[in-house]
């Protein structure tokens, strides 16, 4: 045909023969597959970079905790973005722990402030170790001592992650079923940590291990909306390319469930038949072994499966181990031991009582009462003129949570969590007009025929007219 502008004749584009079209389509498919392969390699390199894994693990761990809190009435989660180096620097620069910025945020702004909301549990997304090591210049033991003092002052137990270096390995997966962990803290290099464990405030601190799976590997299952055929390569030995997170968040999810079920934080260890309760961790993702099709050979969402002997040894040395629950796809905290290692032996009543007092479940429970009594007394103290009046009012409130029947059901003990409770309100020497509350609590806990009692002290404010 003639072009209107120049009179040029333009021939129509010839249609390719069917054989050429098939060859072209195959070449395009080959190029797309090559691009997918190159992108897959690059995305895998990004996903498995240590810095990216730490970032993703932190956010996914927080997401799992938020999911556990969904629908739990009264549960609030607050996030404070602060690195471990900043925590150590803050505590080092402060003349004492109560002069630190962290103390101001946790205690002064909430527990020590009228109208503040005390924290029930603190979770630190940090992996700490009990000694100096290569590439680890921070003084973790000194920082832990300061953190435990802050947690004790605010009656808010704190859970952190335990680094593999604490057990003398680079990764938890380096442990074997035959590794003896019964004497892991013996030796001169652990002397400072042992002295810290003997402190009374150490019972407000827990170190959880091993790491837990926070995301299953991405699979090429056709569900992507962009058509990218990506399959994550996470088949390195011992799961070294899987995304592992801090087990402290798993413990936090257990505490949230106990609070949702009972409004009380005692039921956080062990597993019971056909019940999603106790220390059972049910919210973790699962990965499959590559030896069979998906769903057939499922691995536990733990970096290492501890034997019963290893689990018991770690618990006896003041750690918080997470193990696989038998005959289930879940994990379980069978114990809830704090870092504290009290003096005494389990074969005498005093030693058993000290062990019971060092359980995190006990500290969570008595701390809850300390929060309520502090707030109630603080609101009431302005309307009373004598310590006796304040004491009578608090004791009357406390009796509503006391039940002397040790054979009662779990539900009844959740409603009445104390065997005994007493309060003494006094005017501290040198501070006329101010009240100090001494709390004596005896929860429904029993260990080796011993029953623990707790003595807590807090200042509640000034009397009317002061």
Question: pLDDT tens, 139-152?
Answer: 999 999 999 999 99
- CA–chain centroid gap for 39, Å, is 35
% of the chain surpassing 70 pLDDT: 86
pLDDT of residue 344: 59
pLDDT of residue 466: 47
In the predicted structure, residue 61 carries a pLDDT above the cut 90: yes
Phi/psi for 16 (5° steps) reads: -65, 145
pLDDT tens-digit readout, 305-327: 999 999 999 999 999 999 998 87
Question: What are the tokens at 417?
Answer: 């969590």
pLDDT tens-digit readout, 224-261: 777 778 888 887 776 788 999 999 999 999 999 999 98
Mean pLDDT to the nearest integer, 95-108? 95
Instruction: Give the global pTM.
Output: 0.86
Question: What are the tokens at 300?
Answer: 């536990």
- CA–chain centroid gap for 190, Å, is 24
Task: Give the separation between CA 87 and CA 184, rounded to whole angstroms.
Answer: 27
Residue 208 bridge partners (DSSP): 161, 320
Asked if 390 contacts 380 with a C-beta cutoff of 8 angstroms, the reply is: yes
% of the chain surpassing 90 pLDDT: 43
3-class secondary structure, 109: helix
Asked if 79 contacts 62 with a C-beta cutoff of 8 angstroms, the reply is: yes
pLDDT tens-digit readout, 171-200: 998 999 999 898 778 888 888 999 999 999
Task: Give the separation between CA 147 and CA 152, rounded to whole angstroms.
Answer: 9
Task: Give the separation between CA 144 and CA 339, rounded to whole angstroms.
Answer: 10
101-105, 301-305, 388-392, 451-455 — most confident range: 101-105
In the predicted structure, residue 444 carries a pLDDT above the cut 80: no
Task: Give the separation between CA 330 and CA 302, rounded to whole angstroms.
Answer: 10
Identify the residue whose tokens are 């002069």.
Answer: 99
pLDDT of residue 319: 95
pLDDT of residue 239: 75
Task: Give the separation between CA 254 and CA 68, rounded to whole angstroms.
Answer: 8
In the predicted structure, residue 76 carries a pLDDT above the cut 90: yes
Task: Using CB atoms within 10 Å of the CB of residue 282, give its burial: 0 to 12 exposed, 13 to 18 middle, 19+ buried.
Answer: middle
In the predicted structure, residue 15 carries a pLDDT above the cut 60: no
Mean pLDDT to the nearest integer, 285-310? 77
pLDDT of residue 286: 82
* 93 phi-psi bin (left φ>0, alpha ψ -120 to 50, beta other): alpha
In the predicted structure, residue 47 carries a pLDDT above the cut 90: yes
C-beta neighbour count of 9 within 10 angstroms: 8
Question: What are the tokens at 326?
Answer: 């038998």
Instruction: Give the residue among 442, 75, 48, 457 at the shortest CA–CA distance from 253.
Output: 75
pLDDT of residue 184: 79
Mean pLDDT to the nearest integer, 389-415? 82
Residue 97 per-residue DSSP state: G
- DSSP secondary structure string for all residues of 57-95: HHHHHHHHHHHHHTT-TT---------HHHHHHHHHHSS
Task: Give the separation between CA 155 and CA 425, rounded to whole angstroms.
Answer: 19
- The band of 384, judged by pLDDT with boundaries at 50, 70 and 90, is low
pLDDT of residue 464: 47
For the chain, give the number of residues: 466
Q: Where are the domains of the chain?
A: 51-341, 381-462
Mean pLDDT to the nearest integer, 32-36? 87
CA distances from 351 to 285, 394, 397, 442, 452 (A): 39, 31, 32, 17, 11
Mean pLDDT to the nearest integer, 348-355? 69
Mean pLDDT to the nearest integer, 60-76? 94
Contacts 24+ apart (CB under 8 A), 259-264: 259/72, 259/74, 259/75, 259/120, 260/71, 260/72, 260/73, 260/75, 261/414, 262/411, 262/414, 263/414, 264/365, 264/368, 264/414, 264/417
């Amino acid at each position: 045909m003639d072009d209107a502008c120049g009179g040029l004749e333009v021939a129509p584009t010839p249609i390719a023969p069917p054989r050429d079209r098939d060859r072209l389509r195959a070449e395009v498919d080959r190029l797309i597959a090559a691009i997918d392969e190159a992108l897959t390699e690059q995305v895998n390199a990004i996903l498995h970079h240590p810095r990216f894994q730490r970032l993703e693990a932190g956010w996914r761990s927080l997401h799992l905790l938020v999911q556990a809190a969904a629908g739990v009435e009264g549960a609030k989660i607050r996030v404070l973005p602060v690195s471990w180096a900043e925590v150590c620097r803050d505590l080092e620069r402060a003349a004492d722990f109560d002069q630190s910025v962290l103390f101001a945020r946790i205690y002064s702004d909430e527990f020590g402030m009228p109208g503040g909301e005390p924290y029930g549990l603190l979770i630190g997304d940090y992996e700490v170790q009990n000694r100096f090591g290569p590439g680890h210049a921070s003084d973790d033991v000194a920082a832990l001592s300061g953190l435990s003092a802050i947690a004790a002052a605010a009656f808010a137990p704190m859970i952190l992650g335990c680094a593999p270096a604490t057990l003398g390995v680079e990764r938890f997966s380096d442990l074997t079923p035959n590794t003896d962990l019964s004497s892991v803290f013996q030796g001169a290099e652990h002397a400072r940590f042992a002295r810290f464990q003997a402190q009374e405030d150490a019972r407000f601190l827990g170190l959880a291990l091993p790491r837990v799976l926070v995301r299953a590997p991405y699979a090429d299952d056709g569900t992507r909306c962009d058509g990218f055929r990506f399959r994550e390569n996470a088949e390195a030995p011992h799961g070294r390319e899987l995304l592992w997170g801090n087990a402290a968040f798993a413990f936090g999810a257990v505490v949230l469930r106990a609070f949702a079920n009972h409004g009380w934080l005692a039921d956080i260890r062990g597993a019971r038949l056909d019940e999603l309760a106790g220390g059972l961790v049910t919210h973790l993702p699962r990965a499959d072994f590559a030896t069979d099709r998906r769903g057939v050979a499922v691995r536990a969402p733990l970096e290492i499966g501890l034997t019963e002997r290893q689990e018991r040894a770690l618990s006896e040395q003041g750690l918080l181990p997470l193990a696989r629950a038998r005959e289930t796809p879940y994990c379980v905290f069978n114990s809830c031991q704090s870092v504290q290692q009290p003096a005494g032996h389990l074969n005498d009543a005093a030693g058993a009582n000290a062990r019971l007092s060092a359980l995190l479940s006990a500290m969570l429970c008595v701390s809850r009462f300390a929060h309520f009594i502090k707030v109630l007394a603080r609101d009431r103290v302005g309307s009373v003129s004598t310590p006796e009046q304040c004491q009578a009012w608090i004791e009357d409130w406390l009796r509503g949570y006391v039940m002397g029947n040790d054979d009662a059901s779990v539900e009844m003990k959740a409603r009445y969590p104390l065997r005994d409770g007493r309060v003494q309100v006094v005017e501290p020497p040198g501070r006329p007009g101010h009240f100090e509350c001494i709390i004596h609590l005896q929860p429904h806990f029993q260990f080796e025929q011993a029953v623990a009692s707790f003595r807590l002290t807090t200042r509640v404010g000034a009397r009317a007219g002061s």
